[in-house]
Amino acid sequence: MSGADKTLLVVAGEFPPLKTIGRIRTVKFVDHLRQHGWHSIVLTLDPTGREPNYDPSLLDEIPEGTEVVRLPMVDLEESIARAAKSLLGHPVTSPQDHPLLPGGRAGERATPPANRKPVHQTPGGSPWLDRAHDLTRQLLKNYVYIPDNYRAWANAALKQARHIVATRPIDAIYTTLPPFSSAWVGYHLRGETGIPWLVDYRDLWYGDVLREWLPKWRQQLELRMERRLLKRADAIITVSEPKTAYMRKLHPELKARWETLTNGYDTDIYAGRQRTRPRDDGRIEFVFTGRLFKNRRGHPFAEALGRIARRAPELVKPVRVRILGGVSPEIRARYDAILQDYGINDHFEFPGDVSYNEAMDAQVNCDYLLLIVDTGETSDGVIPGKLFEYVAARRPIFALCDPGVTQQIIERAKIGVVVPAEDVEACEDALEQLLTSRSTQEATGDRDYLSQFDRKQISRRFSDFLEDICSTAITRPNVKTV
């Protein structure tokens, strides 16, 4: 296959201009693969512009000349609500936010800003109608949106993908999960056309630490779905060796090729972005950028700071903690209780979602980057994409994470401090040492070790893997299916 350019059909629910960490892996692969002769056609979501994580400036991330085919999200909840209101004679208003789009994990309901009402409420609205809407939401979430709320979108994407493969020479199909519904597109196309299909797991489907809320019957149902779909996959990619090992143990019957391609950093992502905050302004600033929800909380950091404040208030006096991003209501309520109990409200700031540029500026200007990693049974294999964003920012990292790959990378690269995610005492000890030393130099770390996570190198490996899959897979010419 050497010589002429090849074409990769990319099916990705998360792509610019949605400000999710998952978009970065995909858009960077699309960009860097061009250097290796791979042209991409991206089949993705058509945002409305009302999404909480919509950031139009991120359109600049898409490489010039990339073909992007967008399809709108099918919002069953909103459609049902509008139909019910119309039948009952209630005013039907346009939604202010799209409640179904991911704020960090595809398929997870985004938390609307606190000063906005949910889309189903209207002034003078019926409490009965609101209760019915809540019941409808729960029924959809638990019994219809399986495995996630992208299933209807995936059906439309499959129809569009069939047209693409029938009219264009496609060499390989790449679906990146989540959303997990995207796997149906690759599954059907592989069976209908014989084009090699690669499945990329940014997060686990069955066994993911942020999907532990699912009831057992639903977990087993989705495991059977996953097992069925992956039987047609030519290759399965994950972002860490523990995740690859977990998947191989979970699906020992699969004949697909396995590959680990970690997330990575771009050496030029912060090019031209300099620190503007003076180092001698008397503050010690910690910054977290991202979402806090479900098993990603970070409460021990706040409690540890509070304990130190009671013993050594002067040590904590210069500390400012900025949590930039969405925080789910139950996690925020716990933060508020801790801050109130220890009297450290003035040390914390929760601005909510900010633009990507604002988040990057905050990372460059802080003294320490706060990394809060998901906890759970499979957390040892979690390497947040945020970690590599922090690596590129070259600020020292203070990480709350369970033992595993993320801890190993930070400690081996010498770019920060790691404490167990839920261990308040360990966090208190490490934080006190840090505040006492007040060492806030640039975290260059072991660049030779970190070079393996340079996204250009990872993309080169991906290109070689694509070539190998395409040359060994049993294929046949594109079959007209539309």
pLDDT computed for residue 192 by the predictor: 97
The identity of residue 70, as a single letter, is R
pLDDT computed for residue 442 by the predictor: 72
User: Backbone phi, then psi, for 242, in 5-degree steps?
Assistant: -60, -35
pLDDT computed for residue 89 by the predictor: 55
Q: What is the residue-averaged pLDDT of the chain? A: 87
Q: Which fold has domain 1-264+454-482?
A: Rossmann fold (3.40.50)
pLDDT computed for residue 25 by the predictor: 97
pLDDT computed for residue 212 by the predictor: 85
Question: Which sequence spans correspond to the domains of the chain?
Answer: 1-264+454-482, 284-449
pLDDT computed for residue 274 by the predictor: 86
pLDDT computed for residue 150 by the predictor: 94
Distance from C-alpha of 452 to C-alpha of 440, rounded to nearest angstrom: 26
* pLDDT, tens digit (0-9, with 9 covering 90-100), for 241-265: 999 999 999 999 999 999 999 999 9
Mean pLDDT of 81-88: 53
The identity of residue 266, as a single letter, is D
Residue 265 burial (CB count, 10 A): 24
Q: What does the block give as tokens for 39?
A: 């042209």
**Sign of the Cα pseudo-torsion (378, 380, 381, 382, in order):** positive
Mean pLDDT of 327-351: 98
Distance from C-alpha of 42 to C-alpha of 58, rounded to nearest angstrom: 16
Distance of CA 83 to the CA centre of its chain: 33
Q: How large a percentage of the chain has pLDDT more than 90? A: 74
Mean pLDDT of 218-233: 97
* pLDDT, tens digit (0-9, with 9 covering 90-100), for 328-337: 999 999 999 9
Residue 474 confidence class, pLDDT cut points 50, 70, 90: low
* pLDDT, tens digit (0-9, with 9 covering 90-100), for 89-131: 555 455 444 433 443 344 443 333 333 333 344 444 566 656 6
Cα distance from N-terminal residue to C-terminal residue, the chain: 27
Q: Is the pLDDT of residue 268 over 90?
A: no
* pLDDT, tens digit (0-9, with 9 covering 90-100), for 385-406: 999 999 999 999 999 999 999 9
Distance of CA 349 to the CA centre of its chain: 23
* pLDDT, tens digit (0-9, with 9 covering 90-100), for 120-160: 444 445 666 566 656 666 666 766 789 999 999 999 999 99
* Residues 6 or more apart in contact with residue 27 via CB below 8 angstroms: 15, 16, 61, 62, 63
pLDDT computed for residue 3 by the predictor: 44
pLDDT computed for residue 137 by the predictor: 67
* pLDDT, tens digit (0-9, with 9 covering 90-100), for 280-312: 888 999 999 999 999 999 999 999 999 999 999
pLDDT computed for residue 279 by the predictor: 83
**Sign of the Cα pseudo-torsion (429, 434, 435, 437, in order):** positive
Question: What would you report as the CA-atom Rg of the chain, rounded to the nearest whole angstrom?
Answer: 23
Q: What does the block give as tokens for 392?
A: 């590129």
What is 284-449's CATH number, 1.10.10.60, 3.40.50.2000, 3.40.395.10, 3.30.2080.10?
A: 3.40.50.2000
Mean pLDDT of 54-64: 96
* pLDDT, tens digit (0-9, with 9 covering 90-100), for 436-455: 987 666 777 898 999 999 99
Alpha carbon distances (Å) from 232 to 167, 191, 399, 435: 23, 7, 39, 54
Phi-psi region of 207 (alpha: psi -120 to 50; beta: other; left: phi over 0): left
